[in-house]
A and B are shown apart, each in its own frame.
Chain A
Protein backbone atom coordinates (compact mmCIF):
# COMPACT_ATOMS: atom_id res chain seq x y z
CA UNK A 1 0.00 0.00 0.00
CA UNK A 2 1.17 3.54 -0.53
CA UNK A 3 3.09 5.32 2.13
CA UNK A 4 0.87 7.45 4.32
CA UNK A 5 2.17 10.92 4.12
CA UNK A 6 1.61 13.42 6.87
CA UNK A 7 -0.69 15.76 5.01
CA UNK A 8 -3.15 13.01 4.28
CA UNK A 9 -3.21 12.05 7.92
CA UNK A 10 -3.74 15.61 8.98
CA UNK A 11 -6.43 16.29 6.42
CA UNK A 12 -8.08 13.04 7.32
CA UNK A 13 -7.96 14.11 10.92
CA UNK A 14 -9.63 17.34 10.02
CA UNK A 15 -12.32 15.52 8.08
CA UNK A 16 -12.95 13.29 11.06
CA UNK A 17 -12.98 16.23 13.40
CA UNK A 18 -15.57 17.88 11.22
CA UNK A 19 -17.74 14.81 11.28
CA UNK A 20 -17.29 14.56 15.01
CA UNK A 21 -18.30 18.14 15.54
CA UNK A 22 -21.18 17.59 13.18
CA UNK A 23 -21.12 20.98 11.58
CA UNK A 24 -22.98 21.87 8.47
CA UNK A 25 -22.09 25.49 7.84
CA UNK A 26 -18.43 26.29 7.61
CA UNK A 27 -18.33 29.84 8.85
CA UNK A 28 -21.12 29.94 11.35
CA UNK A 29 -19.91 30.76 14.85
CA UNK A 30 -19.89 27.57 16.85
CA UNK A 31 -20.61 27.00 20.47
CA UNK A 32 -17.26 25.62 21.46
CA UNK A 33 -16.35 27.08 24.84
CA UNK A 34 -14.76 30.44 24.16
CA UNK A 35 -13.87 31.16 27.76
CA UNK A 36 -10.99 28.76 28.08
CA UNK A 37 -7.45 29.83 27.35
CA UNK A 38 -5.76 28.50 24.25
CA UNK A 39 -5.85 24.77 24.30
CA UNK A 40 -4.18 22.91 21.48
CA UNK A 41 -6.33 19.86 22.06
CA UNK A 42 -9.04 21.27 19.83
CA UNK A 43 -6.74 21.43 16.85
CA UNK A 44 -6.42 18.86 14.23
CA UNK A 45 -3.77 16.35 15.15
CA UNK A 46 -5.73 13.17 14.74
CA UNK A 47 -4.30 9.94 13.46
CA UNK A 48 -6.57 7.90 11.27
CA UNK A 49 -6.45 5.93 8.04
CA UNK A 50 -6.52 8.07 4.92
CA UNK A 51 -9.89 8.67 3.34
CA UNK A 52 -11.10 11.16 0.79
CA UNK A 53 -10.50 14.82 1.52
CA UNK A 54 -13.87 16.36 0.92
CA UNK A 55 -14.06 19.30 3.26
CA UNK A 56 -11.07 20.66 5.03
CA UNK A 57 -12.23 23.73 6.87
CA UNK A 58 -11.66 23.29 10.51
CA UNK A 59 -13.70 24.89 13.24
CA UNK A 60 -11.95 26.38 16.19
CA UNK A 61 -13.11 28.46 19.07
CA UNK A 62 -11.62 31.64 17.56
CA UNK A 63 -14.66 31.81 15.30
CA UNK A 64 -16.89 34.53 16.70
CA UNK A 65 -14.08 36.51 18.27
CA UNK A 66 -14.03 40.27 17.83
CA UNK A 67 -10.61 41.47 16.67
CA UNK A 68 -11.71 44.94 15.58
CA UNK A 69 -9.86 46.72 18.39
CA UNK A 70 -6.48 45.45 17.24
CA UNK A 71 -4.10 46.84 14.69
CA UNK A 72 -0.56 46.39 13.39
CA UNK A 73 1.66 48.65 11.30
CA UNK A 74 0.97 48.23 7.59
CA UNK A 75 4.34 48.48 5.89
CA UNK A 76 2.61 48.56 2.51
CA UNK A 77 0.91 51.76 3.66
CA UNK A 78 3.67 53.84 5.25
CA UNK A 79 3.39 51.95 8.53
CA UNK A 80 -0.09 53.23 9.26
CA UNK A 81 -2.12 51.06 11.65
CA UNK A 82 -4.04 48.32 9.88
CA UNK A 83 -7.21 47.35 11.72
CA UNK A 84 -8.55 43.83 11.51
CA UNK A 85 -11.87 44.81 10.04
CA UNK A 86 -12.99 44.12 6.49
CA UNK A 87 -14.26 46.96 4.36
CA UNK A 88 -18.03 47.42 4.27
CA UNK A 89 -19.62 44.35 2.69
CA UNK A 90 -16.15 42.92 2.32
CA UNK A 91 -14.06 40.12 3.77
CA UNK A 92 -10.58 40.16 5.23
CA UNK A 93 -8.20 37.19 5.02
CA UNK A 94 -5.43 37.22 7.63
CA UNK A 95 -2.38 34.98 7.68
CA UNK A 96 0.54 34.68 10.09
CA UNK A 97 3.72 33.49 8.38
CA UNK A 98 7.24 34.35 7.33
CA UNK A 99 8.97 34.62 3.99
CA UNK A 100 11.74 32.04 4.43
CA UNK A 101 9.09 29.40 5.06
CA UNK A 102 9.45 27.22 1.95
CA UNK A 103 6.55 24.86 2.33
CA UNK A 104 3.53 25.81 4.43
CA UNK A 105 3.37 29.58 3.85
CA UNK A 106 3.70 29.58 0.04
CA UNK A 107 1.20 26.74 -0.15
CA UNK A 108 -1.34 28.67 1.89
CA UNK A 109 -0.78 31.94 0.05
CA UNK A 110 -1.07 30.16 -3.31
CA UNK A 111 -4.26 28.41 -2.17
CA UNK A 112 -5.68 31.76 -1.10
CA UNK A 113 -4.71 33.21 -4.46
CA UNK A 114 -6.53 30.36 -6.19
CA UNK A 115 -9.56 30.89 -3.95
CA UNK A 116 -9.63 34.58 -4.84
CA UNK A 117 -9.50 33.62 -8.50
CA UNK A 118 -12.58 31.47 -7.99
CA UNK A 119 -14.43 34.48 -6.59
CA UNK A 120 -14.13 36.40 -9.85
CA UNK A 121 -15.06 40.06 -9.50
CA UNK A 122 -16.06 39.52 -5.88
CA UNK A 123 -12.38 39.09 -5.06
CA UNK A 124 -12.16 42.88 -5.25
CA UNK A 125 -14.06 42.97 -1.97
CA UNK A 126 -11.58 40.66 -0.26
CA UNK A 127 -8.65 42.27 1.53
CA UNK A 128 -5.59 40.16 2.30
CA UNK A 129 -3.18 40.84 5.15
CA UNK A 130 -0.14 38.78 6.03
CA UNK A 131 1.58 39.29 9.36
CA UNK A 132 5.24 38.34 9.57
CA UNK A 133 6.05 36.32 12.65
CA UNK A 134 9.74 36.76 11.84
CA UNK A 135 10.31 40.52 11.76
CA UNK A 136 14.03 40.03 12.40
CA UNK A 137 14.58 38.40 9.02
CA UNK A 138 11.56 39.81 7.19
CA UNK A 139 12.32 43.47 6.64
CA UNK A 140 9.45 45.75 5.68
CA UNK A 141 10.52 45.57 2.06
CA UNK A 142 10.86 41.79 2.07
CA UNK A 143 7.44 41.08 3.55
CA UNK A 144 5.79 43.73 1.36
CA UNK A 145 7.30 42.25 -1.80
CA UNK A 146 6.33 38.76 -0.69
CA UNK A 147 2.63 39.37 -0.11
CA UNK A 148 2.35 41.67 -3.11
CA UNK A 149 3.79 39.01 -5.37
CA UNK A 150 1.33 36.37 -4.25
CA UNK A 151 -1.72 38.63 -4.24
CA UNK A 152 -1.25 42.16 -5.57
CA UNK A 153 -2.70 44.82 -3.32
CA UNK A 154 -2.26 42.73 -0.19
CA UNK A 155 -1.18 44.31 3.07
CA UNK A 156 2.07 43.37 4.79
CA UNK A 157 1.93 43.82 8.55
CA UNK A 158 5.10 43.98 10.56
CA UNK A 159 6.10 45.09 14.02
CA UNK A 160 9.28 44.61 15.99
CA UNK A 161 7.26 45.06 19.17
CA UNK A 162 6.98 41.43 20.18
CA UNK A 163 4.34 42.14 22.81
CA UNK A 164 2.11 43.83 20.29
CA UNK A 165 2.59 40.95 17.87
CA UNK A 166 1.74 38.45 20.58
CA UNK A 167 -1.38 40.36 21.57
CA UNK A 168 -2.65 40.09 18.03
CA UNK A 169 -1.62 36.44 17.87
CA UNK A 170 -3.46 35.67 21.08
CA UNK A 171 -6.62 37.32 19.79
CA UNK A 172 -6.57 35.12 16.71
CA UNK A 173 -5.47 32.04 18.62
CA UNK A 174 -2.29 32.00 16.58
CA UNK A 175 0.89 30.65 18.11
CA UNK A 176 4.32 31.19 16.62
CA UNK A 177 7.97 31.64 17.40
CA UNK A 178 11.39 31.83 15.82
CA UNK A 179 14.55 30.71 17.54
CA UNK A 180 18.14 30.71 16.42
CA UNK A 181 20.26 27.70 17.26
CA UNK A 182 23.89 28.04 18.36
CA UNK A 183 25.03 26.91 14.92
CA UNK A 184 23.16 29.76 13.29
CA UNK A 185 20.13 27.92 11.99
CA UNK A 186 16.69 29.36 12.46
CA UNK A 187 13.84 27.21 13.67
CA UNK A 188 10.38 28.64 13.23
CA UNK A 189 7.01 27.26 14.20
CA UNK A 190 3.56 28.65 13.67
CA UNK A 191 -0.07 27.70 13.67
CA UNK A 192 -0.83 27.25 9.98
CA UNK A 193 -4.22 28.92 10.00
CA UNK A 194 -5.78 31.39 7.64
CA UNK A 195 -8.53 33.54 9.13
CA UNK A 196 -11.59 35.09 7.56
CA UNK A 197 -12.83 38.29 9.19
CA UNK A 198 -16.03 40.18 8.37
CA UNK A 199 -16.81 43.89 8.19
CA UNK A 200 -17.56 44.06 11.91
CA UNK A 201 -14.12 42.71 12.80
CA UNK A 202 -15.43 39.31 13.82
CA UNK A 203 -13.55 36.15 12.92
CA UNK A 204 -15.94 34.13 10.79
CA UNK A 205 -13.73 31.37 9.44
CA UNK A 206 -10.54 29.57 10.35
CA UNK A 207 -8.97 27.49 7.61
CA UNK A 208 -6.31 25.03 8.54
CA UNK A 209 -3.38 24.10 6.34
CA UNK A 210 -4.51 22.15 3.32
CA UNK A 211 -7.98 23.65 3.12
CA UNK A 212 -9.11 23.35 -0.48
CA UNK A 213 -9.25 26.65 -2.38
CA UNK A 214 -12.86 25.82 -3.22
CA UNK A 215 -13.69 25.68 0.49
CA UNK A 216 -11.87 28.92 1.21
CA UNK A 217 -13.69 30.60 -1.68
CA UNK A 218 -17.07 29.33 -0.50
CA UNK A 219 -16.45 30.59 3.02
CA UNK A 220 -15.21 33.96 1.77
CA UNK A 221 -18.35 34.27 -0.32
CA UNK A 222 -20.47 33.51 2.72
CA UNK A 223 -18.68 36.29 4.59
CA UNK A 224 -19.21 38.65 1.64
CA UNK A 225 -22.89 37.77 1.53
CA UNK A 226 -23.46 38.05 5.28
Chain B
Protein backbone atom coordinates (compact mmCIF):
# COMPACT_ATOMS: atom_id res chain seq x y z
CA UNK B 1 0.00 0.00 0.00
CA UNK B 2 1.30 3.44 -0.80
CA UNK B 3 1.59 6.25 1.67
CA UNK B 4 -1.13 8.31 0.08
CA UNK B 5 -4.10 6.28 1.29
CA UNK B 6 -2.53 6.18 4.74
CA UNK B 7 -2.26 9.94 4.92
CA UNK B 8 -5.79 10.32 3.63
CA UNK B 9 -7.07 7.82 6.12
CA UNK B 10 -5.31 9.50 8.99
CA UNK B 11 -6.49 12.92 7.93
CA UNK B 12 -10.02 11.68 7.52
CA UNK B 13 -9.77 9.90 10.82
CA UNK B 14 -8.54 12.98 12.58
CA UNK B 15 -11.46 14.94 11.20
CA UNK B 16 -13.89 12.32 12.38
CA UNK B 17 -12.22 12.34 15.78
CA UNK B 18 -12.72 16.05 16.14
CA UNK B 19 -16.36 15.75 15.17
CA UNK B 20 -16.95 12.89 17.55
CA UNK B 21 -15.10 14.61 20.35
CA UNK B 22 -17.41 17.54 19.89
CA UNK B 23 -20.47 15.30 19.98
CA UNK B 24 -19.75 13.06 22.91
CA UNK B 25 -18.58 15.07 25.85
CA UNK B 26 -18.98 14.15 29.41
CA UNK B 27 -22.10 11.99 29.35
CA UNK B 28 -20.70 9.54 31.80
CA UNK B 29 -17.39 10.90 32.99
CA UNK B 30 -15.50 7.89 31.75
CA UNK B 31 -11.81 8.65 31.41
CA UNK B 32 -9.69 6.86 28.85
CA UNK B 33 -5.92 7.36 28.97
CA UNK B 34 -2.70 5.98 27.61
CA UNK B 35 -4.21 4.51 24.46
CA UNK B 36 -1.57 2.80 22.37
CA UNK B 37 -0.87 0.00 19.94
CA UNK B 38 2.34 -1.72 19.06
CA UNK B 39 3.63 -1.20 15.54
CA UNK B 40 3.05 -4.19 13.30
CA UNK B 41 5.13 -6.02 10.70
CA UNK B 42 4.22 -5.54 7.04
CA UNK B 43 1.41 -7.90 6.13
CA UNK B 44 0.25 -8.33 9.71
CA UNK B 45 -3.39 -9.29 9.96
CA UNK B 46 -3.86 -8.46 13.61
CA UNK B 47 -3.01 -5.81 16.15
CA UNK B 48 -3.98 -4.96 19.69
CA UNK B 49 -5.01 -1.70 21.32
CA UNK B 50 -4.24 -1.06 24.96
CA UNK B 51 -5.48 1.65 27.31
CA UNK B 52 -6.51 2.57 30.80
CA UNK B 53 -10.22 3.15 31.37
CA UNK B 54 -11.45 4.80 34.55
CA UNK B 55 -15.10 4.44 35.39
CA UNK B 56 -17.34 7.44 35.96
CA UNK B 57 -20.07 7.85 38.54
CA UNK B 58 -21.79 4.63 37.56
CA UNK B 59 -20.66 1.11 36.81
CA UNK B 60 -20.25 0.54 33.11
CA UNK B 61 -19.08 -2.15 30.70
CA UNK B 62 -16.87 -1.92 27.64
CA UNK B 63 -18.85 -3.89 25.09
CA UNK B 64 -17.10 -3.39 21.79
CA UNK B 65 -14.87 -1.35 19.58
CA UNK B 66 -14.38 -0.34 15.99
CA UNK B 67 -11.52 1.27 14.16
CA UNK B 68 -11.03 2.40 10.57
CA UNK B 69 -7.85 0.32 10.42
CA UNK B 70 -9.56 -2.90 11.50
CA UNK B 71 -11.88 -5.05 9.44
CA UNK B 72 -13.31 -6.12 12.77
CA UNK B 73 -12.44 -5.37 16.36
CA UNK B 74 -13.36 -7.30 19.47
CA UNK B 75 -12.74 -7.09 23.18
CA UNK B 76 -10.37 -9.92 24.03
CA UNK B 77 -8.53 -11.27 26.99
CA UNK B 78 -5.33 -13.27 27.07
CA UNK B 79 -5.45 -15.81 29.83
CA UNK B 80 -3.06 -18.37 31.19
CA UNK B 81 -4.17 -21.92 31.86
CA UNK B 82 -1.78 -24.62 33.01
CA UNK B 83 1.16 -22.62 31.78
CA UNK B 84 -0.15 -21.93 28.30
CA UNK B 85 -1.62 -18.67 27.13
CA UNK B 86 -4.58 -18.28 24.86
CA UNK B 87 -6.89 -15.52 23.84
CA UNK B 88 -10.63 -15.31 23.58
CA UNK B 89 -13.40 -12.73 23.29
CA UNK B 90 -14.55 -11.45 26.66
CA UNK B 91 -18.10 -12.65 27.13
CA UNK B 92 -20.31 -9.79 28.21
CA UNK B 93 -17.56 -7.20 27.88
CA UNK B 94 -15.12 -5.76 30.39
CA UNK B 95 -16.74 -4.34 33.55
CA UNK B 96 -15.62 -0.80 34.30
CA UNK B 97 -16.64 -0.22 37.93
CA UNK B 98 -17.46 3.32 38.99
CA UNK B 99 -14.33 5.22 39.89
CA UNK B 100 -11.97 2.32 39.24
CA UNK B 101 -9.27 2.08 36.61
CA UNK B 102 -9.20 -0.98 34.42
CA UNK B 103 -5.99 -1.65 32.55
CA UNK B 104 -6.01 -3.04 29.03
CA UNK B 105 -2.40 -4.18 28.82
CA UNK B 106 -0.26 -6.82 27.08
CA UNK B 107 -1.03 -10.26 28.41
CA UNK B 108 -4.51 -9.29 29.61
CA UNK B 109 -7.44 -7.35 28.26
CA UNK B 110 -7.03 -5.70 24.87
CA UNK B 111 -8.99 -4.54 21.86
CA UNK B 112 -8.18 -7.15 19.25
CA UNK B 113 -7.98 -5.78 15.73
CA UNK B 114 -8.58 -8.30 12.96
CA UNK B 115 -8.30 -7.76 9.26
CA UNK B 116 -5.77 -5.00 9.78
CA UNK B 117 -6.14 -2.68 6.78
CA UNK B 118 -2.54 -1.47 6.81
CA UNK B 119 0.48 -1.88 9.04
CA UNK B 120 0.57 0.27 12.16
CA UNK B 121 3.66 2.43 11.93
CA UNK B 122 5.37 3.97 14.93
CA UNK B 123 4.37 7.61 15.21
CA UNK B 124 0.93 7.12 13.69
CA UNK B 125 -2.22 7.97 15.57
CA UNK B 126 -5.09 5.56 14.99
CA UNK B 127 -8.71 6.12 15.91
CA UNK B 128 -10.59 3.60 18.00
CA UNK B 129 -14.24 3.97 18.90
CA UNK B 130 -15.28 2.27 22.10
CA UNK B 131 -18.84 1.26 22.84
CA UNK B 132 -20.09 1.09 26.39
CA UNK B 133 -23.13 -0.49 27.97
CA UNK B 134 -24.36 2.96 28.95
CA UNK B 135 -24.77 3.75 25.28
CA UNK B 136 -21.80 6.08 25.35
CA UNK B 137 -19.42 5.90 22.42
CA UNK B 138 -15.97 7.30 22.94
CA UNK B 139 -13.50 7.86 20.16
CA UNK B 140 -9.90 7.86 21.25
CA UNK B 141 -6.60 8.15 19.44
CA UNK B 142 -4.14 5.33 19.88
CA UNK B 143 -0.46 6.20 19.63
CA UNK B 144 1.48 3.62 17.67
CA UNK B 145 4.86 2.82 19.23
CA UNK B 146 7.54 0.20 18.74
CA UNK B 147 7.80 -0.52 22.42
CA UNK B 148 5.41 -0.74 25.26
CA UNK B 149 4.04 2.54 26.43
CA UNK B 150 4.39 3.05 30.12
CA UNK B 151 1.77 4.66 32.29
CA UNK B 152 3.88 7.79 32.27
CA UNK B 153 2.94 9.53 29.06
CA UNK B 154 5.10 12.58 29.67
CA UNK B 155 8.03 11.36 27.65
CA UNK B 156 8.06 11.61 23.90
CA UNK B 157 8.00 8.65 21.59
Contact = CB atoms under 8 A, between A and B. Distances in A.
A49 B91 CA distance: 25
Contact of B110 (A1, A103, A111): A103
Given A6-B78, A40-B83, A110 B38 contact: yes
Contact of A10 (B48, B82, B107): B107
Interface string B91-116: 00000010011111111111011000
B84 A189 contact: yes
A218 interface: no
Interface string B20-55: 000000000000000000101111111110000000
Interface in A170-187: 175-176, 187
Given A103-B48, A145-B43, A187 B86 contact: yes
B85 A187 contact: no
Interface stretch (A68-76, A80-88, A94-102): A94-102
A60 to B, nearest CB: 9
B142 to A, nearest CB: 13
A16 B111 CA distance: 29
A16 to B, nearest CB: 15
A3 B113 CA distance: 23
A146 interface: yes
A99 B44 contact: yes
A209 B41 contact: no
Contacts of A77: none
Nearest to B108: A6
Given A102-B113, A103-B78, A107-B148, A190 B106 contact: no
A18 B94 CA distance: 31
Contacts of A101: 46, 87
Q: How extensive is the interface on chain B, given as a class? A: 35 or more
A45 interface: yes
Given A43-B83, A104-B85, A149-B41, A2 B100 contact: yes
Contacts of B113: 102
B40 A6 contact: no
B46 A100 contact: yes
Nearest to A1: B100
B125 interface: no
B41 A145 contact: yes
A142 B43 contact: yes
18 contacts: A6-B107, A7-B105, A40-B82, A45-B81, A99-B44, A100-B45, A100-B46, A101-B46, A102-B110, A103-B78, A103-B87, A103-B112, A110-B146, A110-B148, A145-B41, A176-B84, A190-B86, A191-B83
Given A6-B109, A40-B84, A102-B112, 11 more contacts: A2-B100, A3-B101, A5-B108, A6-B107, A103-B48, A110-B146, A175-B83, A176-B84, A187-B86, A189-B84, A191-B85
Q: Which 5 pairs from chain A and chain B are nearest by CB? A: A43-B83, A189-B86, A149-B41, A102-B46, A40-B82
